[in-house]
Amino acid sequence: MNQLTSHFILDEVKGQWNIPFIGDIPDGIDMIDVMLGKKIEVKNLPIQLPVTIDEEEETIYPDIMTADLPLFSKKLKSIFDSLEINNIIYYPVELIEERSGDKTAEYFLAVVTNIISCLKSGIDKSPAGRLILKNPIIDPTLANGHRLFRLGEEPNLMIVDSQLKQKIETANLQNISLLPLEDYVSL
């Protein structure tokens, strides 16, 4: 396989307005800690996340939501489980509609524990010293065969290899984006 297309950014499709909007994140869950792969201490499981749902449109429950916290559907989790991807700590989550208090869906908070700095090119700095990624390329020797990880140079990015991408695509999951890493440009 062409080295340039061997890694992809796993994310939600942006601009979806008819998915649940997550409200306040419960105490004890820090979005930065989750992004950095740190185990979280939760007293009560499942975690209940308040959501707002637009009642005028049909609500779509996608297989991944990443705007606030990385939430995986049971289908997406089962793909990773079947491939023995074991660097994710899962916490069961219930989405609770804020107005009614009704449970609307079940997900898993997915804490990816591997953060790997592995870029061999595509790294620059802005005049202010901020890291900028433009068409980055992974050094496979530094990725060391990991199939799913967060990119150390930009930990908000979840990276999957081409085999995981193929498995996700054949499962016909909803609202999943798999952008080739070399097409990425940070803002």
Report how far apart, in Å, the C-alpha atoms of 187 and of each of 12, 125, 133, 174 are: 17, 12, 8, 26
Output the tens digit of pLDDT for each of the chain's 187 residues: 444 468 999 999 988 888 999 989 988 899 999 999 999 998 899 999 999 987 777 899 999 999 889 999 999 999 999 999 999 999 999 999 998 999 999 999 999 999 999 999 999 998 998 999 999 999 999 999 999 999 999 999 999 999 999 999 999 999 999 999 999 999 7
Residues 103 and 131 in one domain: no
Residues 40 and 87 in one domain: yes
**Residue span of the structural domain in which 123 resides:** 3-11+114-183
Residues 103 and 122 in one domain: no
Question: What pLDDT, on a 0 to 100 scale, did the predictor assign at position 5?
Answer: 60
Contact yes or no for 157/178 (Cβ under 8 A) = no
Residues 94 and 137 in one domain: no
CA 113 to CA 161: how far, in whole Å? 16
Q: How many domains does the chain have?
A: 2
Q: Which of 76, 94, 112 is the last residue of a domain?
A: 112
Question: What pLDDT, on a 0 to 100 scale, did the predictor assign at position 104?
Answer: 94
